[in-house]
Chains A and B, each alone.
Chain A
Amino acid sequence: MRLIDENGLRIDGRKVDELRPIRIEAGVLKRADGSAYVEWGKNKVIAAVYGPRECHPRHLQDPSKALVQCRYNMIAFSVMERKRPGPDRRSVEISKIIAEALEYVIFTEYFPRTSIDVYIEILQANAGTRCAGLTAASVALADAGVPMKDLVPAVAVGKVDNQVVLDLTKEEDNHGQADLPMAIIPRTGEVLLMQMDGHMTVEEFNKAIDLGYKACEKIYQLQKDALRRRYAVEEIETFEEAQHPQTAMEE
């Protein structure tokens, strides 16, 4: 199976260093304290944040800081073959690494004895859902007003047809040679999440990391825009109302 054609284009027509189209929307759920929806190529992810709130069960409370809990869940219809519902080995692992990545950026010491709960639901999956999930979760946290060092952009890089490529799709992930999801703090360049499946040489690895960093900057900008848009739109509306107070008052 050829994943990259002679022109250097991939199955979906992207170049090797091109991201899939990404759309981020903040504040999509009314009852959650903060939420975000991410469409990343064919991935569809929704993230909800509750808290900081009283931590239950009690014995998990930490008197010095807040607990960050995360649940990554793939909905049964998110993949072609029905996924058996409930947590499995893979989703437990992803929940853990996402919670740990987020814990590092949140100022947990501001909220002792509480828990901050993050729920990530994968509505549709097409490779790279842990990155899309983490991207959504950090926007949802900011939307919930949780104090944090920075937003967390995440992206997967990999090796396909002996070439280092950015943002693998399902086909590339399944038939490629390596997959390397990563998440960073853009301001400092610190790595929050990095996993690798497959083999790469040191040169390839370094090239992949560079590619990932550049892509994270772009995703970071999209995250910021999503948050600003959520509140800026309100401002335009109310601003226009202010100019026509009479029409605004009629219901």
Chain B
Amino acid sequence: MWKRRSSSELQVIDHYQNRMKARHENMKEGERDFNKDKESLVKPVREIVVPGDLLDSGKLKPGDGTYLSNGKIYASQLGIKSIKSNFVNVIPLGGPYIPSPGDSVIGKIVDIGPSNWLVDINSPYPAPLHVTEVPWKVEFGDTARYLNIGDTILAKVLLVDETKRVQVTMKEQGLRKLQGGQIIDISHSKVPRVIGKGGSMIQMIKSYTNCRIFVGQNGRIWLDGDIENIVYAIRAIKMIEEGAQTLRLTERVKEYLESMTRSGLNGKQQ
């Protein structure tokens, strides 16, 4: 469905289409590696939709960021249209983080009660952490000895009910209090891009910078390691956040990290 578009958007589409066309022609001539180009040809143009845009009026089912009205599917959020296994989704470009059970999140302790802590998980809802949900045996009223205000923890969302009452837990392997390191915030909608397919992106950043990194589903990222390397890792992550919808992102990030870590090493030798 081609609707009326702004000139700037048309420019983008022209850009992509010309490129695709060029690729197609090249392919016909057999000048390029076939497999390399196949992927980019299959990828559709990323279409930005705004609330109220018609997404589909026929066979597809409404997914995230959409709503159904008179049998037609409309976008309910500003984002990018994507079709996956018969569902139309809108991948949001922003919006708050809404917790769902099973999410790994990075939280900050904001309040202490006699039998629970209140954790800020970067969402509109406060998340209590009960003493029965921590890996230590805590006496009543002794909560501050284990976690104090300002501490950061790696936690998991235990349950979320209809009125969005949230509970988090630390009773699982790998969940713990985070000591040292730095925390940065990114938009939670960019988290999948930072992690990459099967963790490829984050693995790459880790191996180039030698940092220990945790990415919370809520858009908080914890990094620990050599201070210079942390700076490079943060820059790489910011790069991913800003260019999340662009082509060739992984390669660009790789090139950046390669050049930065190399020049960083050279700097030390001098």
A residues lining the B interface (CB < 8 Å): 33-34, 51-54, 63-64, 105, 107, 110-114, 142-151, 185-188, 221, 223-225, 227-229, 231-236, 238-239, 241-242, 245, 248-249
Contacts and interface: CB of A to CB of B under 8 A. Distances in A.
11 contacts: A33-B96, A53-B96, A111-B124, A113-B164, A144-B94, A227-B50, A227-B78, A229-B8, A231-B93, A235-B46, A241-B243
A143 B94 contact: yes
Interface stretch (B9-17, B25-33, B167-175): B9-17
B9 A238 contact: no
B179 interface: no
A227 B46 CA distance: 15
Contacts of B124: 51-54, 111, 113-114
Nearest to B90: A147
By secondary structure, the B interface counts as: loop
Given A145-B77, A232-B6, A52 B50 contact: no
B8 A145 contact: no
Given A54-B125, A63-B163, A242-B247, A149 B51 contact: yes
B52 interface: yes
A144 to B, nearest CB: 6
A232 B247 contact: no
B266 interface: no
B255 A235 contact: no
Given A53-B124, A151-B52, A229 B6 contact: yes
Residue from B48, B52, B242 whose CB has the most chain A CB atoms within 10 Å: B52
B218 interface: no
Contact of A231 (B48, B69, B98, B243): B48
A147 B77 contact: yes
B76 interface: yes
Nearest to A249: B256
Nearest to A147: B76
Contacts of A52: 96, 124
B95 A186 contact: no
B163 A239 contact: no
B88 to A, nearest CB: 15
B51 A239 contact: no
Contacts of B256: 249
B245 interface: yes
A111 to B, nearest CB: 6
Given A239-B15, A242-B247, A249-B259, 17 more contacts: A54-B126, A105-B51, A111-B96, A114-B125, A142-B50, A143-B78, A144-B95, A145-B95, A146-B77, A147-B76, A147-B77, A151-B52, A228-B5, A228-B6, A228-B48, A232-B48, A242-B248
**Interface size bracket, B side:** 35 or more
Residue from A234, A239, A242, A245 whose CB has the most chain B CB atoms within 10 Å: A239
Contacts of A234: 242
A185 B51 CA distance: 11
Interface string B45-85: 01010111100000000000101010000101111000000
A224 B52 CA distance: 10
A120 B94 CA distance: 21
B73 to A, nearest CB: 12
B269 interface: no
Contacts of B262: none
B246 A242 contact: yes
A112 B96 contact: no
B246 A145 contact: no
B216 interface: no
Contacts of A186: 52
Contacts of B162: 112
B76 A51 contact: no
A113 B93 contact: no
A103 to B, nearest CB: 15
